[in-house]
A and B are shown apart, each in its own frame.
Chain A
Amino acid sequence: MTSVGYDPAAPGAELERRGIRLGDVLFQGVALAASVAATALLGLIAYQVFSDAWPAIEQFGLSFVWTEAWDPVKDTYGALTFVYGTVVTSVIALLLATPLSIAIALFLTEIAPRRVAAPIATLVELLAAIPSVVLGLWGILVFGPWVRDTLEPWLQSFLGWCPLFSGEPSQAGMLPAALVLTIMIIPITSAICRELFSRTPRDLMDGAMALGSTRWEAIRGVMFAYAAPGIAAAVLLGLGRAFGEAIAVNQVIGGANSIHISLFAPADSLGSRIAAQYQGATSALQASSILYLGAILMVISLVTNVLAQVIVRRFERSRRAY
């Protein structure tokens, strides 16, 4: 413990006279080192993935991204099947999850009384806590067969004319994977939306209703307009989560090698293909191509993440003007 009195003869006295404490310098140095290391870690991840993918990048170039091929026998590879699978499953999940999440958030902030809202909010958060491998287990053994036996035939009965819903129902395919992703995204998006809606300034809403609008019209006109950027950010964050999910998707998507139009047919996504094949690549080029898939996945996750953050920061800045 430092004494209150100042002893000029004591060691470190010169430093102390200048107001510099050795302990402080050391501590700040350690904290700085940790922060530098955290930043370096991010760079290292990008570097490692790209350098391992380099042989494939060199061999196939950028056209890898839109080439539909995955043939270890001929040693030619292309990512289109998996990019397509990732994008389609994630977009479908988003289209289904976003209105549901907004509705849930509205329910929790506007409709439900406080005593009901709190436990229901907890339950929705618990949905986020379910590990993806458990959702996948449920997907393989319970949900997939139900989709094959009940949901897909039902959809086909009135939508069968559409190529998206053609073909034989299957328990492994694009549709079960998209639905599992929906279940994963809902808690994330609804939690963010709930935050946004509860932070809408009350006087804006009250003003609208004083002018004669119904509750719903006030919500639609005022709350959504106020929260729109935040909702966009929530959507993007959910999308990023969906892009990156590998395990649960791998369990229910069916591991197909080419693109099929029907949502019922097996497909594959970037994360899922990496999880399935990385350890058993037959050639160095295949291993490197799988890492190229990882690089693509990293890039699209990064882009959605950064976009979400840009929107959030611009949102925060404009809100502070209020």
Chain B
Amino acid sequence: MTTIPSDDRYDITVRSAGLRRRKLTEKAYAGLAVASAVIAVAILALVLGTVIHKGLSALSLDFFTKPRPLFGQAGGIADALVGSALIVSMAMVMAIPFSILVAIFMAEYAGPRLSVALRIVLDVLNGVPAIVVGIFVFGLLVVGRGQSAIFGAFSLAVLMLPMVARATQEVLEIVPRSLREASLALGVTRWRTTLSIVLPTAIGGILTGVVIAVARVAGETAPLLFTSSIAANQISTDVTNALPTLPVSIFVFSESPDPGEQAAGWAAALVLIAFVLVLNIVAKVVAGRQRRKHEGV
């Protein structure tokens, strides 16, 4: 028979100093936890608040319709908006079908070990820093040919691929096997099953992954510095040349001594953050709807 220790420290019927100390410690750590959360939210509020405050005052109709300024003039970000929109759209076109195919292979056709190997490949690709992707595309494509928006889009697509592929793969694996088996039992071919049954079921999760990936690459500067940074100060849709982009413009404005250009930097940052935040909220809404739909199933 084990003896029960008669240590007052652990006897909860005794309101001892030990118990008080332990409760105090508990309160202290709880306080620290709350303080940390407050700090995190405060930093977010600080950064966002500054961007909104300084950016709002620089917003104007001119800002959205004029291209970036030459030396000593005023201007806007119209050309950078067009450039960013084109480059991100092209990156989506390059990355999404490719990523979905890779995910389909991992979820539908690959054996468990191959699937794990591919997952590792994608996770490693995800960990390659954006600047390394930039110098990779520079050395592979830009040298000898010149910069172009297409190369910029390709570098962003390389960044998007692992994100979209992993998100798609995870969603595809959640789709119940019974759905696939029922379809095959009815005589539908395997590829038809995947495209017409499995993918549409997973579309919510895929969309979420895509939206999050787009939000991430819309703000990427490093790869575009090497592939699409020498661009005319005018609105252009010529994708075979470099096009100005929002993140690179912010980067250049941020180093400028001119208060006008700095204000333009804040305003451009506001536009970019608004875009990224809206995308993140859309992703959350879609993910929430997906979750509720599956819970109802």
Contacts and interface: CB of A to CB of B under 8 A. Distances in A.
Contact of A138 (B37, B51, B225): B51
Interface of A: 2, 4, 21, 23-24, 26-28, 30-32, 34-35, 37-39, 41-42, 44-45, 48-49, 52, 99-100, 103-104, 106-108, 110-112, 120, 122-127, 129-138, 140-142, 183, 186, 190, 212, 214-217, 240, 243-247, 251, 271, 274-275, 278-279, 291, 294, 297-298, 301-302, 304-306, 309
Contacts of A183: 43, 47
B179 interface: no
A297 B29 contact: no
B277 A134 contact: no
Given A38-B98, A111-B30, 15 more contacts: A26-B191, A31-B104, A39-B121, A111-B33, A123-B40, A129-B277, A130-B44, A131-B272, A133-B251, A136-B254, A215-B30, A216-B26, A216-B29, A244-B128, A298-B129
B176 interface: no
A34 B247 contact: no
A175 B262 CA distance: 23
A30 B129 CA distance: 28
A111 B219 CA distance: 34
Closest 5 CB pairs of A and B: A131-B219, A244-B129, A305-B127, A103-B36, A27-B191
Contacts, number: 249
Contacts of A186: 40
A45 B138 CA distance: 11
A38 B277 contact: no
B136 A217 contact: no
B197 interface: no
Contact of A278 (B39, B118, B135, B272): B135
Contacts of A21: 189-191
Interface of B: 10, 12, 22-23, 25-26, 29-30, 32-37, 39-41, 43-44, 47-48, 50-51, 98, 101-102, 104-106, 108-110, 118, 120-133, 135-136, 138-140, 158, 161, 165, 187-192, 194, 215, 218-222, 225-226, 247, 250-251, 253-255, 262, 265-266, 269, 272-273, 276-277, 280, 284
